[in-house]
Amino acid sequence: MPVKIKSPGPMAATQLLCAFVIGSKISGLETDAVISKAVKQSIKEIGGKTGKTSVINTLGRIKAQRILLVGVGKITNDSFRLAAAKLSLKAREIGVSEFSIMVPETDKQDSSMMIPQIIEGAKMSLYAFDDYKVKKQDTPDITLLVAGSMQKTARDAEKVADAVIFTRQVANMPPNDCTPSTIASIAKSLAKTGIKCSIISKAELKKRGFGGMTAVGQGSKNEPKLVVLEYMGGSKGQKPFVLVGKAVTFDTGGISLKPGSNMDQMKFDKCGGCNILGIIKAAADLKIKQNIIGIIPSVENMPGSESYRPGDIIKLYNGKTAEILNTDAEGRLILADALAFGEKKYSPKAIIDFATLTGACIVALGNEVAAMITNDKKLADKFRTHSQRTAEDVWELPLNDNYMKMIESKVADVKNMGTGKAAGTITAAAFLKSAIEKTPWIHFDIAGVAWTQTPKPKPYNPSGATGFGVRLVIDYLKGQ
Ligand code: BES
Ligand code: ZN
Ligand code: ZN
């Protein structure tokens, strides 16, 4: 259900009226003397802790049956998102069928940061992947009480939250129901006014020299697909941004088979590509004034008699040859094709890619921070700023020429892994860099953050895919 957006006025009837406690203050909550006393007590209970909630039963004294207060705590780039998530989860737990959130009144600048956080926190937290369950999660409807002048901000924020949810929904699909063809049909379903979608299938991939994609895909009966989405919201002559995302619908490792434990999680190896679907959808919904191309190489990496092998030498889209040393390092092969294709066909302003590329990224940065690697310092600075705004944390890793030596092969132009375990995330990025000639490029390794892998993820990231990076790129594109 879309969020109902209303102007704050005389109190409307609601099962649950929610308000934020900032410091020890609540803005706009009008009650009587008795409830006022209870509110003061609740504020004490919350004690300024971000996300701590307290419920007050109004016993029919006002139009709201209950009041839910939530602490905002120290104001950060994430505090309203976290508080809104906690209050929404509490509302669902209480069992109401609808609740209203009062947006605190502040100046325009603060509101423009706070309102998106509140909408994102509320909507993202209540998402549940229950398509495959008979009994669905009950989800209460949300009403947002916000001044007229900020209602457009709220509506735009909802489009962003919806794009994240769309991304998660595709990313959470099981690998038996989500093959490269499924990714292609979902992309096609996005093609409406403003979005063009084309698909390159196996025979043509082979003919046109996408050697990385055909090699990785040849072990599965689910054939590889290259999805190309074009959203032209800018002027005709304006150079586009190219967005690339890895969509391995299932990564067994291939002949270099992965160990069995947790292999089910490799359905999330398509998360980078799913991000691109969500971002392009949001760009069209928000009518962003940029030309944006989404490229999604999608394959399934399976072992079998037709699989590619360690020792194979393949030719990538840009003409360079690659020696395969491990068939589990498949992401860089399909991405190298997609990156080179994107650069050649579109001469973009910049290329941005997302991939669950390396286990080494989790070793280095864990599950809260994505790795960022670039050939352009300015791009990194910009993304650092936007990541501050969206609270999707990134950390830059270096990529100088010394690392490029680590992927030199004795028998081909490059090899698909570095030496041993050293700098695994960087050597993977080095491989990607070698596929790009001169375009500013930035790569995000989202292996640790693309789905919930820790017992206590952020409250707005329910179990499963997170959509990490979708809000980041939308914020970046809006700012260009
Ligand atoms: N999809 C994996 C990376 C991954 C592993 C993401 C775990 C999230 C969680 C990728 O294709 C892969 O297997 N990479 C190898 C590369 C190695 C063989 C050089 C890895 O990280 O072990
Ligand atoms: Zn792999
Ligand atoms: Zn993979």
pTM listed for this prediction:
0.98
pLDDT over 90, % of the chain: 96
pLDDT the model gives residue 274: 99
DSSP type of residue 420:
T
Atom of ligand 1 nearest to the CA of 453: 9
DSSP type of residue 63:
S
Atom of ligand 1 nearest to the CA of 331: 11
DSSP type of residue 456:
S
Map tokens 């009144």 to a residue.
Answer: 105
Closest ligand to the CA of 254: 2
Q: Cα of 401 to ligand 2 centre, how many Å?
A: 25
Q: Which of 351, 390, 391, 398 is nearest to 371 (CA)?
A: 398
Give the residue-averaged pLDDT of 11-18.
93
pLDDT the model gives residue 471: 99
Residue-wise pLDDT tens digits, 309-353: 999 999 999 999 999 999 999 999 999 999 999 999 999 999 999
pLDDT the model gives residue 11: 79
DSSP type of residue 466:
-
CB 178 within 8 A of CB 249: yes
pLDDT the model gives residue 419: 87
Residue-wise pLDDT tens digits, 20-41: 999 999 988 889 999 999 999 9
| Residue 320: Cβ within 10 Å count | 16
Give the residue-averaged pLDDT of 344-369.
98
Position 244 pLDDT exceeds 90: yes
The protein residue with its alpha carbon nearest to ligand 1, atom 5, reads 359
SS3 per-residue string spanning 353-373: EEECCCHHHHHHHCCCCEEEE
Amino acid (1-letter code) at residue 73: G
Residues 6 or more apart whose Cβ sits within 8 Å of residue 93: none
pLDDT level of residue 81 (50, 70, 90 thresholds): very high
Give the residue-averaged pLDDT of 263-271.
99
Q: Which of 325, 328, 354, 417 to mutate to test the pocket of ligand 1 (most atoms within 8 A of CB)?
A: 328
Position 383 pLDDT exceeds 90: yes
Q: Cα of 358 to ligand 1 centre, how many Å?
A: 4
Asked whether the CA dihedral 306, 308, 314, 318 is positive or negative, the reply is positive
Give the CA-trace dihedral at 416, 276, 470, 169, to 10 degrees: -100
CB 35 within 8 A of CB 19: no
Residues 6 or more apart whose Cβ sits within 8 Å of residue 45: 52, 54
HSE-up of 176 (CA within 13 Å, CB side)? 2
Position 371 pLDDT exceeds 90: yes
Q: Cα of 257 to ligand 3 centre, how many Å?
A: 11
| Pocket-forming residues, ligand 1, beta carbon under 6 Å | 251, 269, 326, 328-331, 356-360, 417, 424, 447
Position 177 pLDDT exceeds 90: yes
Position 433 pLDDT exceeds 90: yes
- Which residues belong to the active site? 258, 332
d(CA 475, CA 465): 20
pLDDT level of residue 192 (50, 70, 90 thresholds): confident
Which residue has better confidence, 11 or 87? 87
Give the residue-averaged pLDDT of 240-248.
99
Helices (H), 172-236: 180-190, 202-207, 211-217
| Distances from the Cα of 373 to the Cα of 105, 370, 417, 424, 448, angstroms | 39, 10, 17, 13, 15
d(CA 330, CA 335): 9
pLDDT the model gives residue 9: 86
pLDDT the model gives residue 193: 80
Give the residue-averaged pLDDT of 132-148.
97
Q: Cα of 269 to ligand 2 centre, how many Å?
A: 8
The protein residue with its alpha carbon nearest to ligand 1, atom 22, reads 359
Element (H, E) at 68: strand 64-71
Assigned token pair, 292 = 């944006």
Q: Which of 472, 417, 407, 402 is nearest to 442 (CA)?
A: 472
pLDDT the model gives residue 152: 98
Q: Cα of 214 to ligand 1 centre, how many Å?
A: 19
Residues 6 or more apart whose Cβ sits within 8 Å of residue 84: 70, 101, 117, 118, 119, 120, 121, 122, 125, 460
Q: What is the mean pLDDT of the chain?
A: 97
Residue-wise pLDDT tens digits, 305-318: 999 999 999 999 99
pLDDT the model gives residue 276: 99
Helices (H), 19-171: 33-46, 79-94, 108-126, 151-171
Give the residue-averaged pLDDT of 126-130.
98
d(CA 169, CA 129): 7
Position 282 pLDDT exceeds 90: yes
pLDDT the model gives residue 30: 87
CB 339 within 8 A of CB 443: no
pLDDT the model gives residue 314: 99
Q: Cα of 171 to ligand 3 centre, how many Å?
A: 14
* CA 178 to chain CA mean position, Å: 18
Amino acid (1-letter code) at residue 354: F
d(CA 473, CA 277): 12
Q: Which of 412, 239, 444, 401 is nearest to 316 (CA)?
A: 412
Coil vs helix vs strand at 67: strand
Atom of ligand 1 nearest to the CA of 424: 19
Phi, psi of 231 (to 5 degrees): -120, 115
Position 112 pLDDT exceeds 90: yes
pLDDT over 70, % of the chain: 100
Give the residue-averaged pLDDT of 433-452.
98
326: burial class by Cβ within 10 Å (0-12, 13-18, 19+)? middle
Position 420 pLDDT exceeds 90: no
Coil vs helix vs strand at 351: strand
Give the residue-averaged pLDDT of 142-158.
97
